[in-house]
Amino acid sequence: MTTILPQLTTPLQQTRVDVFNEIFVLFLGLGTLVGIVVVSYTLYNAYKYRDDGNHGEDEDLPVVGELPTGGKGGRKLFLSFGLSAVIVLGLVFWSYQMLLYVEAGPGDEAQEEALNVDVEGQAFSWTFQYENGVESNGELVVPADREIQLNVTSIDVWHAFGIPDQRAKADAIPGEYSETWFIADAPENGENVTHEDAIECFELCGAGHSNMKADLTVMEEEAFQEWMAEQEAQANSGGNESGGGNESATGTQTGPEGNESSANGTDAASNESGANESSAAGAGGNATDAANETNAGNESDTNGTDASGDDGNNDTEDNETDGNADDESGQEGES
């Protein structure tokens, strides 16, 4: 059953977005229908049987002090109950097949080619580490049309990692590794697309929770490989303060016990003192986020160059600059 049915109900290589939409639309349709029917029937009854002053004297009317008993209509009650139970159970069993699919991932073939990314939540930013050790802070860069397998954890408090557009979500719990996956659609006309703030935190995690966001950049496979090679080169050269180097240093400083008061305290102070709107944002990368916000106002899917617009590098380098900005402000907070 469990092996055949999903294959019947779900075509191969469905993304989570497809699965979600399929279920959601059906639930929404049925839910709206049931809601309208039941509420209308309720109101209809209330109106139809409104008191018009004609009490049939023969009826057995309730009086004060009687021992409680039930009224008539039990059969109808069970009929409606049974009907609603069938709808609910049917919906859930059907959606359970989809759950099995979502849990299993998009199939063995896709999984072999999957890109594994470790996601680390930290108050109040996201860090992404690729299989080859490359780290990116504040921006998840992924190739299109390939399964991205995320392994999510946290180094301080409970966060929840989510990319609503991709319908991917996983709790980021200290000491735990929860998994999720998604497949991003290829960007139109082959250019890299950065979705500003596409990644958000879904669990209250402290003063900067409101602005614990990260960007999602989707590239064609080739562009992604180029980007990755560039990252590796930078990491190896060592001269550049790559996101990776900084981040790991921070990581060791903030072990579960070391990550105390002072760091967070400073963050909060800086938040509160900087009274203007943009720095009310979270601790990690105030400046960057402010820039992002301005841009988000202009157009939603701009790419990296437009987003920062401070120097004339190409897209990928610019993304990297963002990452550094995040890191540095994070470090200031620590010191």
- Residues numbered 259 to 278 that lie near other proteins (CB under 8 A) are 259-262, 264-265, 267-269, 271-272, 275, 277-278
Of 134 and 150, which has the nearer Cβ to other proteins? Answer: 150
Q: Does 186 bind other proteins (CB under 8 A)?
A: no
Q: Contacts with other proteins in 231-260 (CB under 8 A)?
A: 256-260
Of 179 and 191, which has the nearer Cβ to other proteins? Answer: 179
Per-position DSSP letters for 111-155, written without gaps between them: HHTPEEEEEEEETTEEEEEETTS-EEESEEEEETTSEEEEEEEES
CB of 128 to other proteins, least distance (A): 19
Of 39 and 233, which has the nearer Cβ to other proteins? Answer: 39
Of 31 and 133, which has the nearer Cβ to other proteins? Answer: 31
Q: How many CB atoms lie within 10 A of CB 112?
A: 8
Q: How many CB atoms lie within 10 A of CB 215?
A: 23
Radius of gyration of the chain (CA): 27
Of 211 and 324, which has the nearer Cβ to other proteins? Answer: 211
CA distance 187 to 142: 11
Sign of the Cα torsion 319, 323, 328, 329 reads: positive
* Phi–psi pair at 58, nearest 5 degrees: -75, -15
What tokens appear for 157 in the block? 């408090």
Q: Does 69 bind other proteins (CB under 8 A)?
A: yes
CB of 183 to other proteins, least distance (A): 15
Q: How far is CA 219 from the centre of its chain?
A: 20
CB of 324 to other proteins, least distance (A): 22
Query: Which of 5, 114, 115, 207 touches other proteins by CB under 8 A?
Result: 207
Of 174 and 245, which has the nearer Cβ to other proteins? Answer: 174
What tokens appear for 333 in the block? 């907070």
Q: Contacts with other proteins in 154-173 (CB under 8 A)?
A: 155-158, 160, 162, 164, 167, 169-171, 173
127-154 as b/e: b if 16+ CB within 10 A: bbbbeeebbbbbbbbbbbebbbbbbbbb
CA distances from 226 to 140, 205, 219, 233, 318 (A): 15, 35, 10, 11, 14
CB of 56 to other proteins, least distance (A): 10
Q: Does 18 bind other proteins (CB under 8 A)?
A: no
Q: Contacts with other proteins in 120-139 (CB under 8 A)?
A: 123
Of 83 and 229, which has the nearer Cβ to other proteins? Answer: 83
Q: Contacts with other proteins in 23-62 (CB under 8 A)?
A: 23-24, 27, 31, 34-35, 38-39, 41-43, 45-47, 49-52, 55, 61-62
Q: Does 287 bind other proteins (CB under 8 A)?
A: no
Of 113 and 257, which has the nearer Cβ to other proteins? Answer: 257
Question: Segment contacting other proteins (CB under 8 A): 105-113, 131-139, 193-201, 327-335?
Answer: 193-201
Rounded to 10°, the helix 261-273/315-334 angle is: 110
Q: What angle do CA 326, 327, 329 make, to 5 degrees?
A: 70
Sign of the Cα torsion 290, 295, 300, 303 reads: negative
Q: Does 1 bind other proteins (CB under 8 A)?
A: no
Q: Does 66 bind other proteins (CB under 8 A)?
A: yes
